[in-house]
């Protein structure tokens, strides 16, 4: 099962290239979110309620608003379908579409490293997406889920040893800590979805200068 999930993650979900003092990295994310809040405190208070409903409950800061994400999809139709189902259940939700374009870089010498970092984060996010689905379907054991999470921590640790910005290293370290905590106990699909969204959020807000 681990091999299958990793193989799925290698399907191209993004396009990257390097030019001048920028790298172009195109990836699209569709977050199914519960409402939006004006401040982080209000969003955090709603987050636990979303988790109790089986959602990730991850708070996304976008354009001055805070969104509490149920889940993240790479296909807009799928995201809209899930959002519609939630609305039919009486939940107020929306789809937040985010697309990455280009990133400023301070060091052109490391442009391939930076692109590789974004690729790695996206691939691991996709593994988490498929892992969460497998847990929902009951097609994967708890031991198998923990093994997948632990395996995904290895490339993230390797990234932290590279010359990345301190902010990016801090974000990846946060994800590693969350992964370690998830792998210690019972692995819930909602927690794995939160890991996926955290990885996507890291890609969206990555800084290389």
Residue 17 has what pLDDT? 53
Dist. CA 155–CA 10, nearest whole Å: 14
The predicted structure's pLDDT at residue 107 = 82
CA distance 48 to 147: 27
Q: 3-class secondary structure for 107-132?
A: CHHHHHHHHHHHHHHHHHHHHHHHHH
In the block, tokens 């990730």 appear at 56
Predicted confidence at residue 21, as pLDDT, reads 87
Q: 10-31 b/e with 16+ CB inside 10 Å = b?
A: eeebbebeeeeebbebebebbb
Q: Give just the sign of the alpha carbon dihedral 124, 127, 131, 137.
A: positive
Provide the token pair at 152.
């995904």
pLDDT in tens, 77-105: 999 999 999 999 888 899 999 999 999 99
Confidence (pLDDT) at 23: 94
CB-based contacts of 60, cutoff 8 Å, min separation 6: 31, 33, 66, 67, 68, 69, 96, 197, 201
pLDDT of residue 54: 87
> Could you tell me the sign of the dihedral formed by the alpha carbons of 157, 161, 164, 169, in that order?
positive
How far is residue 136 from each of residues 21, 145, 180, 202, 205, measured CA to CA in Å?
43, 12, 20, 25, 29
- 3-class DSSP assignment, residue 188: coil
* CA nearest neighbour of 182 among 145, 157, 156: 145
Q: Which residues of the chain have pLDDT under 50?
A: 1-13
pLDDT score for 9: 41
């Amino acid at each position: 099962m681990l091999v299958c999930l990793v193989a799925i993650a290698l399907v191209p979900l993004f396009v990257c290239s390097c030019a001048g003092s920028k790298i172009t990295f195109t990836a699209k994310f569709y977050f199914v979110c519960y409402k939006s809040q004006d401040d982080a405190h209000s969003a955090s208070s709603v987050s636990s309620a979303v988790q109790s409903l089986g959602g990730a409950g991850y708070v996304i800061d976008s354009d001055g608003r805070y969104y509490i994400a149920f889940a993240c999809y790479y296909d807009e139709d799928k995201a809209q379908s899930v959002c519609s189902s939630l609305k039919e259940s009486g939940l107020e939700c929306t789809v937040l579409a985010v697309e990455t374009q280009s990133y400023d870089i301070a060091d052109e010498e490391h442009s391939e490293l930076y692109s590789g970092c974004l690729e790695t984060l996206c691939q691991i996010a996709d593994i988490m997406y498929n892992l969460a689905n497998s847990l929902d379907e009951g097609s994967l054991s708890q031991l198998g889920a923990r093994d997948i999470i632990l395996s995904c921590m290895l490339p993230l640790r390797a990234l932290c040893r590279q010359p990345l910005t301190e902010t990016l290293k801090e974000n990846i370290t946060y994800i590693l800590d969350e992964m370690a905590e998830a792998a210690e106990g019972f692995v819930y699909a909602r927690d794995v979805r939160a890991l996926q969204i955290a990885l996507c959020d890291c890609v969206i807000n990555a800084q290389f200068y």
